[in-house]
Chains A and B, each alone.
Chain A
Amino acid sequence: MDDWQRPDVLVIGGGNAALAAALTAREAGASVTVLEAAPRPFRGGNTRHTRNFRCMHDGPLGQLTGRYDEEEYLADLMAVTGGRTDRALALLAIRESAATYGWMERHGVRFQPSLSGTLSLSRTNAFFLGGGKALLNAYYASAEDAGIVVRYEAPVTAMALDGRRVAEVTARIGGAELRLLPRSVVAACGGFQADLDWLAEAWGPAARNFLVRGTPYNRGTVLRMLLDAGLDPVGDPTQCHAVAIDGRAPRYDGGIATRVDCVPFSIVVNRDGARFYDEGEDVWPKRYAIWGRLVAAQPDQVAYAVIDAKSRDLFMPTVFPPVEADSLAALADRLGLPRARFLATVEAFNAACRDGPFHPTEPDGLATEGLVPPKSNWARPIDTPPFLGYALRPGVTFTYLGLSVDAGARTRRGGAPMQNLWAAGEIMAGSILGQGYLAGFGMTIGAVFGRIAGREAARHA
């Protein structure tokens, strides 16, 4: 058995939380081995697709403008989770987020001003220059310099528990099952959103039509192992976070580019050409997250957003050009919609629109009259060719089920702490994010609890 198979700290996973744990443990003097299931080009789990983290600050900090204090941050979290959060852990993440900015910078991460089209986040979220993969490149370069051993394509296949202690970990590396005997273990290997069979347990067969926005490597194998071994769970096992994305996106790994922001300026119809929800309920950032679920509930888990030439430049450019036609009938044909039903839907909608001022960036009260379901804002008739359509499908971002941890990121079994197993990142985020999502908060949880787990794991070793 080589030295790297007997590390002080073994980190399972290769994303933001895993590397935060590995770097912190190494800097505390521990020897560290990282097992990343993905091959090197796809290392880093969902961190590859992230772009920022949510950061508390009492005044301008680096690229962050203004001030974003604990109270406001917590209020934002309460609003999206409906109070389903562990308040103590949430406050810990929020308070520690302030120091995370500097910690990331010291490990090579560089920040940039809020991206065009994301002005609403310039005060609350610090954007990584180059995005999440650039952050990972910086982390891995720091890890290499620090002498951390990283093994790629090294999925964990078994974990042997001895009471409240992890005794042994097995990983498949280079075709062989290799044993590892670490003193401490940090599980930072994400959720199970890439395992559609597992999602189907909660969602039924509809889940097989979902697209997975992130890495195909987050299959939750380690999470399942640990839950089967009796570790205390947290989070709703039946829920996942999903948004509506371009229906032509790849099955996995489509990431940020596949989002479609035109919904507020559109009418959205299902496979049968019928509308099913108020497209203009609120500004898009506030309604972005509900549309995954809405589309998932439609037949074949597909929907079609239709706009006309008036609206084509009002939202972020899309990864693929829209389907385009000079008449609504031709558009129906190209989208594969029943022509008569679709035309009737548009006609009814257009007839319910009324005159009034239109303001694309704020709720303008330009609502339909006598239409069910209504469109409460930005309701302008779809009447100016060319007409444009996007197929929408649910894109799963993450799952909520995870491991319960204490303020030291230590996992539990039967209510009592495990001796040498900590968890960080998405695998324990369900403790804090019981439902909903707050932009950039996943990266905050990962970095904060990664550092805590690394510190505690090194101390134990």
Chain B
Amino acid sequence: MHDRNSPPQAAPEDSVAIEEARRQLRICNACRYCEGYCAAFRAITRRRDFDGRDILQLANLCHDCRGCYYSCQYAPPHEFALNLPRALAEVRRESWERFAFPQRAARLLQRHGVALLALALAGGLALALLASALGPAGGPAFYAVLSHGWMVAIFLPAFLVPLGLTLAGLRGYWRAVGGERVRPRQLRAALHEALRLSNLGGGHGEGCNFERGERFSLARRRAHHLVLWGFVLCFASTASATVMHYLFAMPAPYPPLSVPKLFGVPGGVMLLVGALWMAALRLWAERAPADGRAFWAGMAFVLLLAAIAASGLLLWLLRDTAGLLHLLTLVHLATVLAFFLSLPFTRMAHAPFRFAALLRDMQERETAGR
């Protein structure tokens, strides 16, 4: 929110998507019927008009629950043609592209599902070639395909470099929306809303209007919880394995009652079920309120998560089936590699950007409450 003496004029850098979002947001702000749905609408009503950075922030604050679309008396075929979820989804994707480096990679991966598939295949092929060039590693479990040393040599930079790029992009976003120094209480409040997905509750806690159209449903909130916490558990599994490897000299494989397995198996199941559920919900939901250009790219990302989880679980279940083990290891490593390498350029960008938007929203609320 900024003090202004004149309304925001269309800045030269404002895209068509931002212009369209501004047109719609002005109508929303003159109506305000949707105020109770989510944080994004409350942020709308705190503003008088909307410049490019307001729209950037609102777009990333929107959780795409679609409550406002189905309750809108101005939705198409009304001549105002309000479709805020779609307008904000387009700005959101553009913002992920804009703050990514290199932008070209983001434009490719945010718009084309097949690009992610190609990346995974290329990664798989490269790993296979490397493994065959090196010959049998002779280690236990998946180290039979690639030695521990090579894994670290490949995956450590493949994780750290994209992570660094993501953080750099996030810094660009934070500057663009006028973010201030973060206070611990703001961080706590944002975490609270992010981890509970409060904004997918519909304001009444009965859920959003996604795959059931005009009716409320908690399916998407639950599916996303499975993905989120499944992902966290899988990450915890890998992290605990790393600790055991280096600090306690206990390399993989681990027995079923070990810490990595107790995190990894339930985590993998949750991630798999959640990702497939999300994919199904995307198919069942109406396309009109979605960003049409990103539909299949988003789908590819969700399916990549499912593939990581599925291959990881199969790897464990079929650990004694010698013939498949090699192939499964390659598939699992390739999907994980594709996930890491594409981290700043895929739908995964929604997580850091959404969190930053929630954090910025907490700061705005504090300023407004003062």
- List A residues at the B interface (Cβ < 8 Å): 41-42, 48-49, 51, 110, 112-113, 115-117, 127-134, 137, 140-141, 250, 253, 255-259, 309, 313, 316-321, 324, 386
Inter-subunit contact B26/A320 (CB<8 Å): yes
Inter-subunit contact B45/A116 (CB<8 Å): yes
* B104 located at the interface, meaning its Cβ lies under 8 Å from any Cβ of chain A in the complex: no
Interface of chain B, main secondary structure: loop
Inter-subunit contact A130/B27 (CB<8 Å): no
Inter-subunit contact A132/B73 (CB<8 Å): yes
A433 to B7 CA separation, bound complex (whole angstroms):
41
The residue of chain B having its C-beta at the shortest distance from the C-beta of A260 within the complex is B30
Inter-subunit contact B36/A112 (CB<8 Å): yes
Number of interface residues of B (CB under 8 A): 35
> Residues of A contacting B29 with CB < 8 Å?
317
* B321 located at the interface, meaning its Cβ lies under 8 Å from any Cβ of chain A in the complex: no
- CB contact between A137 and one of B74, B79, B80, B214 (< 8 Å): that residue: B214
> Residues of A contacting B293 with CB < 8 Å?
none
A423 to B52 CA separation, bound complex (whole angstroms):
51
A300 to B330 CA separation, bound complex (whole angstroms):
77
Inter-subunit contact A48/B214 (CB<8 Å): no
Inter-subunit contact B71/A130 (CB<8 Å): yes
Chain B CB within 10 A, most for which of A131, A258, A324 = A131
Inter-subunit contact B27/A319 (CB<8 Å): yes
Inter-subunit contact B33/A115 (CB<8 Å): yes
* B160 located at the interface, meaning its Cβ lies under 8 Å from any Cβ of chain A in the complex: no
- CB contact between A317 and one of B49, B67, B77 (< 8 Å): that residue: B49
Inter-subunit contact B48/A319 (CB<8 Å): no
> Residues of A contacting B27 with CB < 8 Å?
257, 319
The residue of chain A having its C-beta at the shortest distance from the C-beta of B45 within the complex is A116
* B78 located at the interface, meaning its Cβ lies under 8 Å from any Cβ of chain A in the complex: yes
* B296 located at the interface, meaning its Cβ lies under 8 Å from any Cβ of chain A in the complex: no
> Residues of B contacting A253 with CB < 8 Å?
73, 78-79
* B218 located at the interface, meaning its Cβ lies under 8 Å from any Cβ of chain A in the complex: no
- Known contacts being A110-B203, A320-B26, A321-B7, is A133 close to B31, with CB within 8 Å? no
> Residues of B contacting A137 with CB < 8 Å?
70-71, 214-215
Inter-subunit contact B67/A319 (CB<8 Å): no
> Residues of A contacting B5 with CB < 8 Å?
309
The residue of chain B having its C-beta at the shortest distance from the C-beta of A252 within the complex is B79
Inter-subunit contact B79/A130 (CB<8 Å): no
The residue of chain A having its C-beta at the shortest distance from the C-beta of B75 within the complex is A41
- Known contacts being A115-B32, A255-B31, is A386 close to B6, with CB within 8 Å? yes
**In the complex, chain B residues 300-325 whose Cβ is within 8 Å of any chain A Cβ:** none
A317 to B77 CA separation, bound complex (whole angstroms):
24
* B35 located at the interface, meaning its Cβ lies under 8 Å from any Cβ of chain A in the complex: yes
- Given A41-B76, A257-B31, A313-B48, 12 new contacts (CB under 8 A): A48-B73, A110-B204, A113-B36, A115-B32, A116-B35, A130-B36, A130-B68, A132-B73, A250-B79, A250-B80, A309-B5, A324-B7
> Residues of B contacting A313 with CB < 8 Å?
48
- Known contacts being A116-B32, A130-B33, A256-B31, is A317 close to B26, with CB within 8 Å? yes
Top 9 A-B pairs, shortest CB-CB distance: A112-B36, A131-B33, A130-B71, A134-B71, A257-B30, A137-B214, A319-B30, A257-B31, A110-B204
A128 to B33 CA separation, bound complex (whole angstroms):
8
Inter-subunit contact B37/A319 (CB<8 Å): no
- CB contact between B73 and one of A110, A113, A127, A133 (< 8 Å): that residue: A133
Chain A CB within 10 A, most for which of B26, B36, B68, B78 = B36
Inter-subunit contact A131/B34 (CB<8 Å): yes
* B72 located at the interface, meaning its Cβ lies under 8 Å from any Cβ of chain A in the complex: yes
A140 to B68 CA separation, bound complex (whole angstroms):
18
Q: Can you list 9 A-B contacts (CB < 8 A)?
A: A110-B206, A116-B45, A133-B71, A134-B67, A134-B71, A250-B80, A256-B31, A317-B48, A319-B26
What's the minimum C-beta distance from B198 to chain A, rounded to whole angstroms?
Answer: 15
A48 to B82 CA separation, bound complex (whole angstroms):
15
Inter-subunit contact A255/B73 (CB<8 Å): yes
> Residues of A contacting B33 with CB < 8 Å?
51, 115, 128, 130-132, 134, 256
